[in-house]
Amino acid sequence: MNIKQLRYIVAIANTGTFREASEQLYVSQPSMSIAVKDLEAELGFKIFDRLNTGVNLTVAGERFYEQAQSVLRDFDTFEAKYMSPTTLQHSFSIASQHYDFLAPVSVEFSEKNPDIKNIRLFESTTYNILTEVSDGVSDVGIAYLNNQNRMGITRMLDKLDLEFEELMTFKTHIYLRQNHPLASKPFVTNDDLRNLSRVRFTQENEQFLYYSEDLVETFENTKIFNVTDRASLNGILERTDAYATGSGCIDQASVHEISVIPLEDGNTNTLIFIKKKNMPLSDEAKSYKRSLENYFAQNSF
């Protein structure tokens, strides 16, 4: 087992496919596949179930994935502390909640910054995002604020000596399979969702509601699928009448058998760009922010 293999596991789990993970890490897909199979053989259990549409973490794989994230976070903190600036100058890391726009934005950023050879896209829990930026492991973070979480998140930002810039506002959207009974509606209401199951991203600190990526209330007796990655979330949506919430910021090239419908009277949310307090954005961070802004300007959501 080595750090490279752990990075492969986390990237595959976060993206949901070997192809996207290999593109993200600039590794050939066959090499990554062999490395993962070697690791599974060494561990004695399967980390992923391979599907036609991508991969899902096994039960043992989910536990391994969570531990791998922790190990990588500690290693990256250690590396950032002791490696020289000249060694690290060709790297850039983004920590973010789970958003479909991250892949196309990161591709544009890569094309505009060919000298940056190592782009790390770390999709994780809200708590991990904040600590990643605070510890200097990630250059910037991406999350959202609304009336429900603003006080808690801004309090944590202050505690971790972080601040934010606003990127855009967005309405809450509901994600459903394309042939879902609600998929043809121009918008949905809370009453439409009341008797449906839902899928949401797991957070370490579930007792603190402001860490949640959910954008609607949870109704009594709702069946909930808790997942750690977008591939599992989409896989459940495609096979059930469950729903998930999100920003609605998704272009046609990123849609995978999923319908995105606005929620009537939903929250107004603000996407934020998180950085260390009282420190100017680096040229790389400014460039990534411009790529985000370009994406939102070029796509109407």
pLDDT at 265 over 80: no
Q: Is 298 helix (H, G, I), strand (E, B) or coil?
A: helix
Per-chain mean pLDDT for the chain: 87
pLDDT in tens, 173-224: 999 999 999 999 999 999 999 999 999 998 866 667 788 888 777 777 889 9
pLDDT in tens, 76-86: 777 766 665 55
Contact 146, 266 (CB under 8 A): no
Transcribe 74-141 into DSSP letters.
Answer: HHHHHHHHHS-HHHHTTEEEEEE-S-TTHHHHHHHHHHH-TT--EEEEEE--HHHHHHHHHTTSSSEE
Q: How far is CA 14 from CA 25, 95, 193, in A?
A: 12, 12, 27
Angle subtended at Cα 291 by Cα 286 and Cα 294, rounded to the nearest 5 degrees? 125
pLDDT in tens, 29-67: 888 889 999 999 999 999 999 888 788 999 999 999 989
Q: If you search the block for the tokens 């070697």, which residue do you land on?
A: 38
User: Would the pTM of this model clear 0.85, i.e. be above it?
Assistant: no
Q: How far is CA 16 from CA 234, 238, 247, 256, in A?
A: 9, 14, 19, 12
- Burial code (b: 16+ CB inside 10 Å, e: under 16) for 165-187 equals eebbebbbbbbbbeebebeebee
pLDDT in tens, 120-154: 999 988 988 998 898 888 999 999 999 889 999 99
Q: What's the chain's length in residues?
A: 301
Q: How far is CA 173 from CA 28, 163, 216, 265, 285, in A?
A: 35, 26, 10, 11, 28
Better pLDDT: 21 or 110: 110
Q: If you search the block for the tokens 């801004």, which residue do you land on?
A: 154
Domains by residue range for the chain, with CATH: 1-82 (1.10.10.10), 170-269 (3.40.190.290)
DSSP 282: P
Strand partners, 162: 276
Q: How many CA atoms within 13 Å lie on the side-chain side of 183?
A: 15
Average pLDDT over residues 94-106: 92
Please, which residues have CB within 8 angstroms of residue 195's CB and are 6 or more apart in sequence? none
DSSP 161: T
Among 24-28, 104-108, 191-195, which stretch is predicted with the lowest mean pLDDT?
A: 24-28
pLDDT at 75 over 90: no
Average pLDDT over residues 265-293: 91
Residue 206: the pLDDT is 61
